[in-house]
Amino acid sequence: EDQVTQSPEALRLQEGESSSLNCSYTVSGLRGLFWYRQDPGKGPEFLFTLYSAGEEKEKERLKATLTKKESFLHITAPKPEDSATYLCAAIPRGSSNTGKLIFGQGTTLQVKP
């Protein structure tokens, strides 16, 4: 069964304290791994897509990486405005024509000033 698991469920950081969020996946023939950011009361907002092991993508203080079993979202010197829930989602081979995503439970990040 295709599955995506995120850890930790919640993370509290001080401003400037770098850390990483984990997304482990068990998916038949990964076609893409997505990262989204979700603010309270809003819908998920697209951040990155990763396609193959070894790939990295960056946006401001965020860097996403991918291995054959997991993806990491590294947050460097976070600011309070980085506080949000971060979701990862995978497209397995069988869903490559339908776009059906398998989501993890999310990691809620709080960055304190």
Partner 1 sequence: NAGVTQTPKFRILKIGQSMTLQCAQDMNHNYMYWYRQDPGMGLKLIYYSVGAGITDKGEVPNGYNVSRSTTEDFPLRLELAAPSQTSVYFCASSLTGGSNQPQHFGDGTRLSIL
Give the 3-state secondary structure of the chain: CCEEEEECCEEEEECCCCEEEEEEEECCCCCEEEEEEECCCCCCEEEEEECCCCCEEEECCEEEEECCCEEEEEECCCCHHHCEEEEEEEECHHHCCCCCCEECCCEEEEEEC
Cβ distance to partner 1 smaller for residue 46 or 54:
46
| Site for partner 1 contains 34 (CB under 8 A) | yes
Q: Contact with partner 1 (CB under 8 A): which of 43, 54, 68, 81?
A: 43
Site for partner 1 in 80-99 (CB under 8 A): 87, 89, 91, 95-99
Residues that bind partner 1 (CB under 8 A): 4, 9, 31-32, 34, 36, 41-46, 49, 51, 87, 89, 91, 95-101, 103-106
